[in-house]
Structure 1
């Protein structure tokens, strides 16, 4: 699979390429899926999902960031039918999505309510702040969505005095959930 090209910047959050790889593994998208992203920002997740899912709906509340999503989407090859919406979730969310990614924490409880009400079967949320991770974990649990919480940190090597040292990215808490029965390792803790 080709790399994601992001020639336009929107000050991306914690969804770096390594995080996206885990995210996409947890979502297990296929060509019949309708994937929805809340908070598209650079469009990196939208682009990668559009290479796997049949349809993608990306929401972004900030017009300048939605423009960056659009420009970065145009700079990449995707196969899915992609719809970009300037909206603040839960408004603008489709009722027929199979998988949902929350790239931000704004209004996440209302978005989770929508996921439960519409039967979205895979839900993933990335969080970089510890306090939000705790509250979001409880919100997932209260709605019967929580399958697992994964915390990980990525470090990249660089040369230092003729040897390799590492710079660490912020840790990411990934909440993974489902509204229906899961099979395989998706539901294991």
Structure 2
């Protein structure tokens, strides 16, 4: 049998009394140095868990073979980012008993005075920062560690222009505990080291008095729902096909070049509900329309970038998808300088054969893969008295491709 015990945040006074009794019933105890030091009176054998967990697995297997009662100490709670999943995989036939402790997450939310039953939880200890959502509606608790310090978490959000409110708990429950309420920009430049930290990111609140009660479900917002002015609008039928070719995922970062009224940016932002859209537009009227439509539909994960492509690309971090509408004859420069990640998708629209030919040639020259062209011509049927008359739209070409991955990458 393996007994897996949570020692709570790590100090003796927060150790559940029941855990002490269970520890004493074990023959051999596995845990980190800090965990083992909590039980100086333990009479059995102790084995320190280090970075090489494969060694610990072999030792546990040996102890089980010798019919010993094995105890494994984990910080916090065994059910929250601990050694437990690996033990379940390595010993599927072995009986396990789990004894809970107080997790750092619980402790942090208590310090913040916030309920945590609806919060989100992530760990970047040994994981890429790219796994963190950019947009979230509930508090986000992030366990840090390894190369990913709280400062790096803050810098990740800062590069996307998100100066969120943030709380930081370091060495919670210890005499030198630190609890800091700050923001992303300040924390990103903090010089102090935080080695045992959890951060709470507070969601951005999009509360604009201009927001209307617009109830739109699914893909393809009707054209008439957008505030248009005199700026051209990407029609619903084209918008839907472009987004289908873009293959947008929930956490994608997206660049929309020549955003116009923002119709495509807004639909893309709804698909990438935990990502972010950068809408690049140089026309002043169009810029204001983007902001008005963003407010109308209540889209928090859209950033207007005022200026001309590709000059403004220096302000934009790497993205997963690049949508190109208007290029003002600078498609070659835009494709060359767009901050598109290797493996990312590009989708561009064209209304002339010359632009289609040029776009295809440029994608081939720049090594794009999976290049495809779709042309669509939508026909709407307008009711006139007792009849429906055809209203044909101009044909639109949609060219898509995937940026080649770097050599040595899968």
Shift of 1:63: 1.7
Gaps (5+ residues) in structure 2?
Answer: 1-216, 406-410
* Alignment: residue pair count: 179
For residues 18-167 of structure 1, the aligned pairs below 5 Å read 18-53=237-272, 54-78=275-299, 80-93=300-313, 94-106=316-328, 107-115=330-338, 118-119=341-342, 121-145=344-368, 147-159=371-383, 162-167=386-391
Deviation track 1:63-97 (CA, whole Å, cap 9, x = no partner) reads 2211111111111133x522111111112222311
Shift in Å, 1:161: 7.0
**Does the CA-based 8 Å contact 2:344-2:403 persist in structure 1?**
yes
Q: Distance in 2 between matches of 1:126 and 1:81?
A: 23
Answer whether contact 1:105 1:127 (CA < 8 A) is retained: no
How far is 1:7 from its partner? 2.2
Aligned 8 A contact 1:8 1:71 in 2: no
Q: What SS does structure 2 have at the residue aligned with 1:121?
A: strand
Partners of 2:335 and 2:279 in 1: how far apart?
16
Q: What TM-score, normalized to structure 2?
A: 0.41
In structure 1, C-alpha distance between the alignment counterparts of 2:341 and 2:236, rounded to whole Å: 29
Q: Determine the C-alpha separation between the residues in 2 that align with 1:175 and 1:73.
A: 27
| Deviation for aligned residue 1:138 | 1.2
Query: RMSD between aligned alpha carbons?
Result: 2.1
Deviation of 1:117 (Å) = 6.9
For 1:186, the equivalent position in structure 2 comes to none
Task: Provide the residue aligned with 1:12 in structure 2.
Answer: 232
Q: TM-score, normalised by structure 1?
A: 0.85
Instruction: Work out the CA distance in 1 between the residues paired with 2:332 and 2:260.
Output: 20
